[in-house]
Amino acid sequence: MQRITPFLWFDNQAEEAAHFYVSIFRNAKILDIRRYTEAGPAPAGTVMTASFSLDGQEFVALNGGPQYQFTPAISFYVDCESQEEVDRLWNALLDGGQPVQCGWITDKYGVSWQIVPSVLNELMQNASPEQALRVTEALFKMVKIDVAGLQKAYAG
C-alpha cells in the first residue's frame, strides 16, 4: 500500500462505487474486498471496504453508514492527454451524476472530479498576461473543457 491513500466513506455503496470507477479507467483493478465480521458494526458478511487502483493510485472505499457525505471541498483531478480522453471520462463519470463547471463533475456517489486536458496547463505556462486572461475567461464559460476552445482563446 502506498503511504497516503484516499479513503472514501460511503453509506453502503463502497463495492458498487469501486467497480464503477474501475470500469471507467483503463489501468484499473479491484485489489481487495473485506467484509464485516460478527464484531460489527454492520451485519456480518456485508462489505466493509473495497480497495482499488486507478492508474496506479490506490483508493479504499468504506461502507461506514450515512453519517457523512462527500462535498466538492475534496476532488480528484484527472490530467487528460486529449479531448478524446476528456470526453470518455466525462461521459462515464457523468452517468447518474451532475456536471458543474470548468471540467468539474459530481458523480452519482457525490464524489467530485476535475477532468482537465493537460493542454490547459501547457497554455497557461506559456501564456502572456493577455493570453492567460483569454484562456481563463474561456474556461470559466465551459462546463466540460473544450481543447479547441482553449486553443482558440489562447491564439486570440
Cis peptide before 117 (omega within 30 of 0): no
The predicted-structure confidence for 101-111, as pLDDT tens digits, reads as follows 999 999 999 99
Q: According to the model, what pLDDT value does residue 125 have? A: 95
What CA–CA distance (Å, rounded) separates 31 from 112? 22
Q: In what order do the strands lie in the sheet with 57-63?
A: 7-10, 57-63, 47-54, 28-35
What CA–CA distance (Å, rounded) separates 134 from 112? 26
Q: According to the model, what pLDDT value does residue 40 have? A: 82
Q: Which stretches of the chain drop beneath a pLDDT of 50?
A: none
Q: According to the model, what pLDDT value does residue 2 have? A: 82
Cell of 17: 462505487
DSSP 20: H
Spatial neighbors of 23 by CB under 8 A, at least 6 apart, are: 92
Q: According to the model, what pLDDT value does residue 93 have? A: 97
Proportion of the chain in helix, strand, coil states, percent, rounded to 5:
35, 30, 40
Nearest by Cα to 67 from 142, 150, 144, 10: 10
Q: How many CA atoms does the CB half-sphere of 149 hold within 13 Å?
A: 14
Q: According to the model, what pLDDT value does residue 1 have? A: 60
104-141 burial by CB neighbour count: b if 16+ within 10 A, else e?
bbbbbbbbbbbbbbebbeebeeebeeebbebbeebbee
Q: Is the pTM of this model over 0.75?
A: yes
